[in-house]
Chains A and B, each alone.
Chain A
Amino acid sequence: MAKIEEGLYYSETHEWVKPEGGEALVGITDYAQHALGNIVYVDMPEEGDEMTKDEEFGAVESVKAASDLVAPVSGEVVGCNAALEDGPGLLNSDPYGNWIVRVKLSDASELDTLMDAAAYAEFCEKL
């Protein structure tokens, strides 16, 4: 059973969002890292890039395949987690402790379109 952390927002494409003031951290869920297997590369956007909700903003690559990262919220990328450049496996060992990008939210109401922990648990249950 995949771990789901309380207090985060979740997308159907298995990204999590943790709001912090007008910004938010975005990562991938335990379900996602487990489904992907050994993660060996994270293709991150650059600081200053705009990401648009429901559009691809990078990729997480396992040994076998590349999997798009889909933006759960819109906004300007204000930080990328440099630790993932040399340690992409951190997303396997601690998916909620390792964010991928920090975003300056352009529309905080987008958070309302995401699932809470309970709804995401139910969503994963059905997969």
Chain B
Amino acid sequence: MEETLKTTCLHDSHVALGAQMSPFGGFDMPIQYSGIIDEHNAVRHRCGMFDVSHMGEILITGPGSEEFVGHIFTNDVRGIPAGKILYGMMLYPDGGVVDDLLVYRLADDRWLLVVNASNIGKDFEWIQKQSDGYDVKVENLSDFYGEIALQGPFAEKTALDVLGLDLQDLVFYTFRELPYHAHVEPENAAGNGSAASLEGESIIVSRTGYTGEDGFEFYASFAVIRDIWERLLAAGVTPCGLGCRDTLRFEVGLPLYGHELSAEISPIEAGLGMFVKMDKPEFIGKDAIERQKACGVTRKVVGIELKDKAIPRAGYPVEADGQQIGEVTTGYNSISTGKSVCMALIKKEFSAPGTEVCVRIRKKVFPGTVCKKKFYEKNYKK
């Protein structure tokens, strides 16, 4: 039976803009508006905005919350100040990944976990199950929060000019919780008369993103998110779909759950060991990761650059000496560089940069070289 697709609070706008819509993570989401290449370039060189309201938000509160978040999360949250964000994973005991996520410390005993849309149900259930014996409350706020990502080198100036948000001092991977009304300049308001009704609403603004460019993510109620979207749209900011969100994150080597990370691919195999803090006293999956570190893993996620323009796609076999050594996890003809490149999970003995490998694309085999899994330099403002 087909499951009914959910829609985000900006769905009407996507349809009105003529976006090409497609199911993603249980939601009917915009894949592209003007075209993936246009939108990709807007984010790399100016700025673009994404509806990422499909992302899940799980709130953890209570006196035991710091200890509990540390228990389920690979990064080290001990003693981080309110306003700080950490990236990391939740692991199964065998080291496989439940999900990768951002953890926002809202206050001493309040934490917001931002998780992948496709994993919301699974994550919430997992977190609740682990919370036995901890003095915490776990709430799924995914149906309360909408989210917009404003990304690109002009994001900071756009946030100031259009939304009245002065974010020049907001440090990378930190956030502020702000009253929304304080930033609605009457002359800048969208003119839809909704500003007054948004009085008293608050917004979380973080300097984060998934594009390799400077930028921000806004979390707020659906009404506030709609207001922000309309104001940005009226100011001429390029609406961007999930199509270019993927090409952008891919080029800078950021993983996507289900491709470079999964229940079957550990963070060590994915090359994300720096987000797994082994000096923590404990967390779920620590023993498995310790074993992987001691004995070594047999597979690695690498980058591969092809000599030809043929495009390696997820699932295509990677071969060496006529044998399959792994498969492509994500691949594109890179919009920013024009090269055909991919990330692939392959046997570790072939993972050294410079190793000659091949990708089988339909009936033919195309030669390539193992390289860093970053095909374009990040341009963060840190």
Contact = CB atoms under 8 A, between A and B. Distances in A.
Interface string B241-253: 0010011000000
B158 to A, nearest CB: 25
The 9 closest A-B pairs by CB, nearest first: A63-B36, A40-B333, A38-B37, A61-B311, A41-B311, A38-B35, A41-B309, A64-B243, A38-B36
A81 to B, nearest CB: 15
18 contacts: A37-B36, A38-B36, A38-B37, A40-B311, A41-B310, A41-B311, A41-B333, A41-B340, A43-B361, A59-B362, A62-B36, A63-B243, A63-B332, A63-B333, A64-B36, A66-B313, A66-B362, A85-B309
Interface in B224-272: 243, 246-247
Interface in A78-109: 85
Contacts of A62: 36
A61 B36 CA distance: 13
B23 to A, nearest CB: 14
Contacts of A85: 309
Contact of B37 (A43, A61, A63, A65): A63
Interface string B295-309: 000000000000001
Interface of A: 37-38, 40-41, 43, 59, 61-66, 85
A78 B264 CA distance: 47
A37 B32 CA distance: 9
B310 A63 contact: no
Nearest to B40: A63
Nearest to B247: A63
Contacts of B362: 43, 59, 66
Interface residues of B, number: 19
Nearest to A61: B311
* Most B-side CB within 10 Å, residue of A38, A59, A65, A66: A38
Contacts of B32: 37
Given A37-B32, A63-B243, 8 more contacts: A37-B35, A38-B37, A40-B333, A41-B340, A43-B362, A59-B362, A61-B333, A65-B313
Interface of B: 20, 31-32, 35-37, 243, 246-247, 309-311, 313, 332-333, 335, 340, 361-362
Nearest to B309: A41
Contacts, number: 38
A62 B311 CA distance: 10
A37 to B, nearest CB: 6
Nearest to A45: B363
Contacts of A63: 36-37, 243, 247, 332-333, 335
A59 B31 CA distance: 21
A112 B313 CA distance: 36
Nearest to A85: B309
Contacts of B313: 65-66
Given A38-B37, A59-B362, A64 B310 contact: no
Given A37-B32, A38-B37, A43 B247 contact: no
A41 B31 CA distance: 20
Contacts of B243: 37, 63-64
Nearest to B361: A43
A59 B333 CA distance: 15
A41 B20 CA distance: 21
A66 B332 CA distance: 10
B333 A37 contact: no
A64 B31 contact: yes
B310 A43 contact: yes
Contact of A37 (B20, B335, B361): B20
A59 B313 CA distance: 13
A88 B362 CA distance: 19
A69 to B, nearest CB: 11
A47 B245 CA distance: 38
Contacts of B340: 41
Nearest to A56: B362
Nearest to B364: A43
